[in-house]
Amino acid sequence: MSDKPTVLFVCVHNAGRSQMAAGWLGHMGGDRIEVRSAGSAPAEQVNPVAVTAMREVGIDITAERPKVLTAGAVEASDVVITMGCGDACPIFPGKRYEDWKLDDPAGQDIEAVRRIRDEIKDRVGKLIADLLPA
C-alpha cells in the first residue's frame, strides 16, 4: 500500500451502495484516502433516493455518475469492497478484498435507504480506522 491507500467500492449498478460508500469515505477520510467506485453493470444515473439520503447528512453526490468496473481500476486499488456484485469482480493477488452484505437501495423508500446509508457510515468508519492507524 502506498502512503495514501486507494479504496474501490463496487456494486452492480454503481448507483446506490457504492456511491454512498464513496461519498462517506470522501467525507470522513478527506484527502488521506483515494476513493473510487464502479459497477459491473452501471446504471444510467445515481439512485435519486440515495442522493436525497446523503444530502440529509450534508454529503452531495449529485455530480457522481455510474462508472463501469475495469480490471485497471481493481489493479490500481489497495482495497476492493464489493457489495453484491458476486463473481463479476476481477481478482488480483495481493489486493485486500471485503464483501459488505448490504441491502440494495434500488426501488426502496427513503426510510430503507437511510438505514442502508447509516450502516455504510459505520462500516466506512471502521475501514478508516483500519487503514489509517492513529
89 as an active site residue: the answer is yes
- Catalytic residue, chosen from 11, 12, 20, 59, is 11
Q: Is 73 a catalytic residue?
A: no
User: Could you tell me where the beta strands, DSSP code E, fall in 22-134?
Assistant: 34-39, 79-82, 96-99
**Active-site position among 25, 85, 113, 131:** 85
Is 57 tagged catalytic?
no
User: Of the residues 89, 113, 116, 128, which is catalytic?
Assistant: 89
**Cell, residue 108:** 426502496
The three cell numbers locating residue 115: 438505514
Cα separation, 28 vs 49, in Å, equals: 21
Active site (catalytic) residues: 11, 85, 89
